[in-house]
């Protein structure tokens, strides 16, 4: 079956702009998690959605937000972009509620903020 699909794969924005990233999970998976990956900090948990509800949130400012739709697709939004937001944003899906099982990752959306 198809894997986790993230769009766009690459994007360049300038400071102050906003960005929306999309994630389509594996069919049947209802949990979607988002991570930020940077060389210095590694993988940092942003948030998790299950059945359209945010179940868990990491330590990121309110500029980072997300949502999940009834078909389990998820979007995350970053407003008022800062240079430090440049990163690879990874989406992961699973069929289990809560992050206690195997995660299936997409290839990521690489955001560059100039």
Partner 1 sequence: GNSVTQMEGPVTLSEEAFLTINCTYTATGYPSLFWYVQYPGEGLQLLLKATKADDKGSNKGFEATYRKETTSFHLEKGSVQVSDSAVYFCALSDRENDKIIFGKGTRLHILP
Residues making contact with partner 1 (CB under 8 A): 4, 33, 35, 41-43, 45, 48, 55-56, 58, 90, 92, 98-108
Enumerate long-range contacts of 38-45, CB under 8 Å, 24 or more apart. Answer: 38/86, 38/87, 38/88, 43/90, 45/99
We find the least distance from the C-beta atom of residue 33 to partner 1, in angstroms, to be 8
Is there a cis peptide before residue 96, judged by omega within 30 degrees of 0? no
Closest by CA position to 18, among listed 60, 81, 63, 64 = 81
DSSP tag of 60: -
We find the least distance from the C-beta atom of residue 67 to partner 1, in angstroms, to be 18
Nearer to partner 1, 81 or 106 (CB): 106
We find the least distance from the C-beta atom of residue 73 to partner 1, in angstroms, to be 17
Instruction: Please give the angle made by the CA atoms of 52, 53 and 56, to the nearest 5 degrees.
Output: 135
Nearer to partner 1, 62 or 102 (CB): 102
We find the least distance from the C-beta atom of residue 17 to partner 1, in angstroms, to be 25
Nearer to partner 1, 72 or 93 (CB): 93
């Amino acid at each position: 079956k198809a894997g986790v699909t993230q769009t766009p794969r690459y994007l360049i924005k300038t400071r102050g702009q906003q960005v929306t990233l999309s994630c389509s999970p594996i069919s049947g998976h209802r949990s979607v998690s988002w991570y930020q990956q940077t060389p210095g900090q590694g993988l940092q948990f942003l948030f998790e959605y299950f059945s359209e509800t945010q179940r868990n949130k990491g330590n990121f400012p309110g500029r980072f937000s997300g949502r999940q739709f009834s078909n389990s697709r998820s979007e995350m939004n970053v407003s008022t972009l800062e240079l430090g937001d440049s990163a690879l944003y990874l989406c992961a899906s699973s069929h289990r509620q809560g992050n206690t099982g195997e995660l299936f990752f997409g290839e990521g959306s690489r955001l560059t903020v100039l």
